[in-house]
Amino acid sequence: MALSGKLTKKLVENLNAGRHGDGNGLYLVVDPSGARRWIVRVVVKGQKNKKGAPLRTDFGLGGADIVTLNQARERALEYRRMAKQGLNPRFNAHKEVPTFEEVAQQVHIDRMPTWKNQKHGQQWINTLRDYAFPKIGRMPIDSIDQPEVLMCLSPIWTEKHETARRLSQRIKIVLDVAKSKGLRSGENPVTAIKDAQVLPKVKAKPKHHMAMRWQDVPAFYADLTSRNAMSARALRFTCLTGSRTGEVLGVRWPEIDFDERLWTCPAERMKTGEVHRVPLTDEMLAIIEPLQDLKSDFVFEGQKRHKPMSNMSMLMLLRRMNVEGVTVHGFRSTFRDWASEVANAPREVAEMSLSHRVGSDVERAYARSDLLAKRRKLMEHWSEYVRSISSGGTD
């Protein structure tokens, strides 16, 4: 016969932070982080507190993402029966060993507040979902050893080495957490595999984004200027600022200071995790000022109202323009080559213009200026060069 109470599956998924009773001592605890777990409060027969009153004790039943409402009710009933018989559930309850997937999902939830952003957190669990769960996801966490880990890593170790490296790190974290909770013992098999050099060494291949020659940029920019699509405007802005795709597509109006001619990109959208100021030139302002009339949350609005463009929109534009062998990110390299070969810009000025970190941690601690004034002159020179054909000038 099915047990019943006050809670429902929908409530379990949507209740806000707090302790929510189901009846008969069963509670759903929702943390401020959103993590959800079950506890049951029982009175063990014969146990008293310091005042001589019956001792009430809380016992955890597991995370709500792993333990269903019905399972929690059944376990709570088991604990109450033991308590009535004078048996302490802490020592007498049957302990089920969770699976690798169950522990991994809980680790993901517990670490949500620490992710740099939602996308990063989703990538973390997706790697396990795609390469670990199909092979070891349903195995008890205490039965995972070197052969099981190798079963996940070996098929992709050479072909997708960077993915395999991240996968091994994430498997190691899950197993370490399981050990800390008393669900495992002994050495982490990921560490053992690494120490024994079981897997072959793979020479990392440097990733280069294909870039346009700086000599070809003015003609390309003139063609781009003749197009009215939002993706063309965004690509022009990207070209001129030397910014990353995500930084440009995510820019919102409060980040733009028209009086100071400055765009301040917040730390959470920067690869370095630090605020980056971008000086705005006349050409950059000419691109974005008319877009204020759209009254959108985003400067470069996508097809959906108040939503940014897809991160593929600018790349698809390049393909429609029949521009081969070039990526959007590659324009950063183009700018860097021009800054060195034509503008003779000091290295630290060029690098800071691309939001690259310059020098050691100690050097950066003392050199706290972001060289905004010098970078502004460099960006103005770059804008003039880029639009030299579209404005009728020469270089």
User: What is residue 127's predicted lDDT score, i.e. its pLDDT?
Assistant: 92
Question: What CATH number does residue 167 fall under?
Answer: 1.10.150.130
Residue 87 lies in a domain: yes
Residue 274 lies in a domain: yes
Question: What CATH number does residue 13 fall under?
Answer: 3.30.160.390
Domain end (from 196, 223, 241): 196
CA proximity to 166, closest of 127, 114, 119: 127
User: What is residue 65's predicted lDDT score, i.e. its pLDDT?
Assistant: 76
Report how far apart, in Å, the C-alpha atoms of 213 and of each of 96, 186, 330, 331, 383 are.
Answer: 62, 55, 10, 9, 16
Q: Which residues contact 202 (CB under 8 A, 6 or more apart)?
A: 157, 158, 161
Residues 149 and 184 in one domain: yes
Residue 252, φ and ψ in degrees, nearest 5:
-115, 160
DSSP 328: S
Domain end (from 92, 117, 140): 92
User: What is residue 394's predicted lDDT score, i.e. its pLDDT?
Assistant: 44
Q: 73: domain range? A: 9-92
Structure tokens at 52: 């001589």
DSSP codes joined into one string, 10-53: HHHHH--SEEEEEETTEEEEE-TTS-EEEEEEEEEEEEE-TTSS
Residues 317 and 376 in one domain: yes
Residues 219 and 152 in one domain: no
Residues 64 and 33 in one domain: yes
Residues 269 and 347 in one domain: yes
Residue positions counted in the chain: 395
User: What is residue 368's predicted lDDT score, i.e. its pLDDT?
Assistant: 62
The alpha-carbon radius of gyration of the chain (Å, integer) is 29
Residue 44 lies in a domain: yes
Distance between CA atoms of residues 175 and 181, nearest Å: 10
Residues 274 and 254 in one domain: yes
Contact 318, 329 (CB under 8 A): no
User: What is residue 255's predicted lDDT score, i.e. its pLDDT?
Assistant: 96
What's the average pLDDT block by block, 10 residues per block, for the chain (395 residues)?
Answer: 76 91 91 85 80 77 82 88 80 71 89 74 89 90 90 92 93 92 85 89 68 94 93 96 94 96 92 91 96 93 89 92 90 94 92 81 59 95 91 52
Distance between CA atoms of residues 372 and 56, nearest Å: 63
- The count of domains in the chain is 3
Residues 87 and 155 in one domain: no
- Model confidence, pTM: 0.52
